[in-house]
Amino acid sequence: MSERRQTSQIQVGKIGVGSDYPVSVQSMTTTKTRDTDETLGQVYELANNGADIVRVTCNELEAAESLVKICARSPVPIVADIHFQYKLALAAVEAGVHGLRLNPGNIRNEKQIKEVARECLNANIPIRIGVNAGSLDKDILEKYGDAVPEALVESALLEARYLEDVDFHDIKISVKHSNVPLMIESYRLLAETVEYPLHLGVTEAGPLPGGLIKSIAGISTLLSEGIGDTIRLSLTTDPVEEAKYGRQLLEYLNLRERKSLDLIACPSCGRAEVDVIKIAAEAQEVLEKEGLPIQVAVMGCVVNGPGEARSADLGIAAGKKRGHLFIKGQVVKVVDEKDMVGALLKEGRLIAEEGIDARLAAADADAAQIAEEDVKELLNIQGDINNFEQKTKSVIEITTNKDIEN
């Protein structure tokens, strides 16, 4: 991972955005904003699943009215999404939103944009310039002939200049494209040109799994280059999923502290002593509900499992109809195969309560001994995987031996 790109800092309600702060997760409601209760319900759900900031559309007067209550009762900052009607931007500011997103492609009147900026300046709230390849300013589109990175960046810079003209600098920018390589190029170019924090996303990424793959490819590439201060996975699915995946992505990249389960599992192979796919899915379901912020490993065989997953907080490996439960690679208990998932859950809870060291100290006295015997027995049957290199060498020597050839 490259060092984070240095940016100016802005404040979206209680969430700081920019290089001084952790990268944050955004999502967007799919409810009708005029339906206050339904929208607030979804805002809470998104916040509970990892969203730091939630965007809601402000597409009609009733939506702006509803924003008064939504903003007052929301657990996370609310950003109003504005298209075409600048008066709705003014109404949203009045309603108490914590930020605006303006699309420069469809609010094009300089005077109106500056009026909105002045109101935001008075209210002390930031504006995201949200350029979208699909709704690019038509003059700029004409000039470049296509939604190329230079066109997206020019649109953003033009809008930024209008805001700067009225001394407004609490700006965040996005240049979203549905084509991943073009999205990456657009953000790279923008990052070289401005100091403002950037909001990353692949627009119209689509349903799972393709939408997720596209979003992760684009966003991760940029984050690994130190580019990006907030992210959104624009998926055609329940927005709770995009909030959850966004949060997980940041945790996997070590950009946010782990708050959720990280289940790792071997891909399984001919050595597997259980159905790893099934056990891993069961463990994921049960442990995720507990919300344990630990790394848990499900490994298909005791021969390699505990060693390969030694960095996991907790894990289980199968062998001889038993499960070897291990903490940081050390076997602490041996259970029946049918109790593997239950044992993970029980030990996971105890680790959360007592900590790793206490649970290592509480290991069953005979666990390590039983585990060692199981491994020995399996190695006698299957062969020692650690000797494979030597054996392979011998096989090559035999097959290339001239005496045999002759």
For ligand SF4, the binding residues (CB under 6 A) are 266-269, 271-272, 299-301, 304-305, 308
- Which amino acid is residue 214, in one-letter code? K
Nearer to ligand SF4, 255 or 277 (CB): 277
CB of 390 to ligand SF4, least distance (A): 18
The dihedral sign for the CA sequence 48, 50, 52, 57: negative
Nearer to ligand SF4, 47 or 299 (CB): 299
Nearer to ligand SF4, 157 or 277 (CB): 277
CB of 323 to ligand SF4, least distance (A): 13
CB of 266 to ligand SF4, least distance (A): 3
Query: Is the CB of residue 76 less than 8 Å from the CB of residue 29?
Result: no
| Inter-helix orientation angle 210-224/180-193, to 10° | 30
Nearer to ligand SF4, 182 or 299 (CB): 299
Give the residue nearest to ligand SF4 (CB).
Answer: 300
Terminus-to-terminus CA distance in the chain, angstroms?
55
> How many angstroms separate the CA atoms of 300 and 269, rounded?
8
CB of 392 to ligand SF4, least distance (A): 16
CB of 335 to ligand SF4, least distance (A): 18
Q: How far is CA 295 from CA 41, 309, 321, 356, 368, in A?
A: 30, 10, 24, 12, 21
> How many angstroms separate the CA atoms of 279 and 343, rounded?
12
CB of 273 to ligand SF4, least distance (A): 7
Nearer to ligand SF4, 79 or 314 (CB): 314
Nearer to ligand SF4, 272 or 371 (CB): 272
CB of 297 to ligand SF4, least distance (A): 9
What lies within 8 Å, CB to CB, of 155 at 6+ separation is 104, 105, 131, 136, 137, 140, 175
- Angle (nearest 5°) at CA 65 between 61 and 67: 115
> How many angstroms separate the CA atoms of 99 and 389, rounded?
60
How, if at all, do strands 53-57 and 171-176 pair?
unpaired
Nearer to ligand SF4, 253 or 379 (CB): 379
> How many angstroms separate the CA atoms of 362 and 108, rounded?
67
